Amino acid sequence: MAKDHIVVHGARSHNLKNIDVSIPRDQFVVITGLSGSGKSSLAFDTLYAEGQRRYVESLSAYARQFLGQMDKPDVDSIDGLSPAIAIDQKTTSRNPRSTVGTVTEINDYLRLLYARVGKPICPNDGTPIESQSLEQMVNRVMAMPEKTKIQVLAPVVVQKKGEHKKVFEKIQKDGYVRVRVDGEMHEVTEEFNLEKNKKHNIEIVV
């Protein structure tokens, strides 16, 4: 059960009265109850405290001296627990765009992890995205049936909000004729009235 559940036995932190509980992993779980029933004691003082303590203990002695060591919670055992992060409701941020990743400063590490070991795929059809040399691209085009029509697109705006009027002006000034805006083909001389607060994609037809 520990593989798909976090299993707690004999939790006694603060208001908890020697409770046993099994919490499913990889799911969104809400802990509810009356004020003073031990919700925070279970989430923060037991699960988070033990997850953080185990993680810190796994580090070298040199690294541990720079981190605050949390006390071991009053609990008999916890199985299936991973390293944990926690944000309580008292945490305040003046930035309305803050996320769990930015508040806990884990965002940069996740970005690095995805960039190094992630396998990007096309969001439209699930095809793996792989880098290709110029020779590979030419060979792929030459292998197509005779008279096959192809388009070469150069993205200049990717999922960015705004009207992008200066982008269109520059594209036209650079001598390009057509663009694909949000998946639809247009002549660059057309008048574009994009929604300012909506994300857009703009690609030049080379």
Which distant-in-sequence residues (6+ apart) come within 8 Å of 202 by Cβ? Answer: 155, 156, 157, 164, 167, 168, 179, 180, 181
Q: Could you confirm whether domain 5-86 is CATH 3.40.50.720?
A: no
**By CB neighbour count within 10 A (0-12 exposed, 13-18 middle, 19+ buried), where does 156 fall?**
middle
pLDDT score recorded for residue 70: 73
pLDDT score recorded for residue 93: 63
Query: Can you say whether residue 4 is alpha, beta or left, with left for phi > 0 and alpha for psi between -120 and 50 degrees?
Result: alpha
pLDDT score recorded for residue 160: 93
What residues does each domain of the chain span?
5-86, 93-149, 151-205
- Tens of pLDDT, residue by residue, the chain (206 residues): 457 899 999 999 988 999 999 999 989 999 998 988 889 899 999 999 999 888 888 888 887 777 777 778 999 999 999 888 887 776 566 677 777 777 777 888 888 888 888 888 988 888 888 888 999 989 999 999 998 988 899 999 999 999 999 999 999 999 999 999 999 999 999 999 999 999 999 999 99
pLDDT score recorded for residue 90: 67
Which distant-in-sequence residues (6+ apart) come within 8 Å of 65 by Cβ? Answer: none
CB 144 within 8 A of CB 150: yes
What is the DSSP code (8-state) at residue 127?
Answer: P
Closest CA to 81 of 39, 103, 110, 53: 53
- Distance, in Å, from the CA atom of 8 to the CA atom of 30, rounded to the nearest integer, reads 16
Convert the pLDDT of each residue in 45-102 to its tens digit: 999 999 988 888 888 888 777 777 777 899 999 999 988 888 777 656 667 777 777 7
In degrees, rounded to 5, the angle at the alpha carbon of residue 118 between the alpha carbons of residues 117 and 122 is 155
Q: Which CATH architecture has domain 151-205?
A: 2-Layer Sandwich (3.30)
pLDDT score recorded for residue 83: 83
pLDDT score recorded for residue 192: 92
- What is the rounded average pLDDT for all residues in the chain? 88
Same fold, 5-86 and 151-205: no
Closest CA to 195 of 161, 157, 156, 160: 161
- pTM here is 0.50
Q: What percent of the chain has pLDDT over 90?
A: 50
Closest CA to 50 of 27, 67, 69, 37: 69
In degrees, rounded to 5, the angle at the alpha carbon of residue 195 between the alpha carbons of residues 192 and 199 is 110
